[in-house]
Amino acid sequence: MALYRDHAVVLRTWKLGEADRIVSLHTHDHGKVRGVAKGVRRTKSKFGARLEPLSHVTIQLYRGKGDLDTITQVETVDRFVSLRSDPDRFARAQALLEAVDQVAQDREPDPELHVMLVRGLRTLDQSDAPLVVAAFFLKLLDHEGVMPELEACVSCGEDNPIVAFDPIEGGVLCRDCRRGRPITPEALETLRRILGGGLAGVLAEPVASHTGEVDILATLLMEHHLERRLRAVAVLDQTQY
């Protein structure tokens, strides 16, 4: 199979040579794939704007001998117009892309992750709900099999009142074992609802006092799992004022 077709979200692009670009894609059936879009930077290119980061496309690629496939055809599925015109949402959408780019493995099919990313971007495009990024990070960790323990204290397992949260321990801690950072009951409840099937309800809520806390906790967990800082999140913090 030299030529193949797939659905894909463009994660990142790099310039290559005079007029080409390397495009990093997360596909439905082929995992993370890097392809070369020949001549895409020329004004007369047939790909044009379709291969910019954030685009959801159907794509045809040619699998050659090397690491990079050659992109032969692209059609747009979603353009996510509001993500492009609002700097704040743009930064948040890039945070999703960065997280997926870090988690996904080359040519390791993960249709569920692809669907999650598309849904995440669609939600962000349509609603601008405050907790989309945090919820996406938590669901992504769940998908990776590293969901934090939120029910009982991770250290002693007793059903004592929860007061702290530590990404290194991998969950919440009671008063006797507390470590890491304090957690409020509202934030804990929100985390439980996101991972326990109450996602739609959480996303429908307006900004509250614990929204920032949930955001920070989700980012801490994500960065702990990736073992690196997320650059888009750092930029996001300076955009909000």
Partner 1 sequence: MSYSTTVQELIDQLGRLPGIGPKSAQRVAFHLLKAPSEDALRLSRAIIDAKERVSFCSRCFNLSEGGDECAICLDSRRETRMVCVVEDSQDIVAIERTQEFRGRYHVLQGAFSPIDGVGVEQLRVKELMSRVADEDIEEIIVATNPNLEGEATAALLVKYLKPMGVRVSRIASGLPVGGDLEYADELTLGRALEGRTVLDTGNDSQP
- Residue corresponding to tokens 């991998």: 170
Instruction: Considering the complex, state which of residue 48 and residue 182 has its C-beta at the smaller distance from partner 1.
Output: 48
Q: Shortest gap between Cβ of 119 and partner 1 (angstroms)?
A: 20
Sheet strand arrangement including 162-166: 171-174, 162-166, 181-182
Instruction: Considering the complex, state which of residue 85 and residue 209 has its C-beta at the smaller distance from partner 1.
Output: 85
Q: Shortest gap between Cβ of 87 and partner 1 (angstroms)?
A: 4
Could you tell me the two tokens for 160? 């004592």
In the complex, which residues of this chain contact partner 1 (CB under 8 A)?
12, 43-44, 46-50, 52-54, 76, 79, 84-87, 90-91, 94-95, 97-98, 101, 231-232, 234-236, 238-239
Q: Shortest gap between Cβ of 203 and partner 1 (angstroms)?
A: 21
Q: Shortest gap between Cβ of 209 and partner 1 (angstroms)?
A: 25
What is the C-alpha to C-alpha distance for residues 21 and 47, in angstroms, rounded to an integer?
Answer: 11
Q: Shortest gap between Cβ of 50 and partner 1 (angstroms)?
A: 5
Could you tell me the two tokens for 192? 């439980």
Instruction: Considering the complex, state which of residue 44 and residue 65 has its C-beta at the smaller distance from partner 1.
Output: 44
Instruction: Considering the complex, state which of residue 127 and residue 239 has its C-beta at the smaller distance from partner 1.
Output: 239
What is the C-alpha to C-alpha distance for residues 101 and 115, in angstroms, rounded to an integer?
Answer: 14
Instruction: Considering the complex, state which of residue 45 and residue 160 has its C-beta at the smaller distance from partner 1.
Output: 45
Could you tell me the two tokens for 57? 């496309």
Buried residues in 108-143 as b, exposed as e (16+ CB within 10 A): eebeebbebbbebbebbbeeebbbbbbbbbbbbbee
Instruction: Considering the complex, state which of residue 52 and residue 223 has its C-beta at the smaller distance from partner 1.
Output: 52
Burial class (CB in 10 A: 0-12, 13-18, 19+), 194: buried
Q: Shortest gap between Cβ of 161 and partner 1 (angstroms)?
A: 38
CB 99 within 8 A of CB 224: no
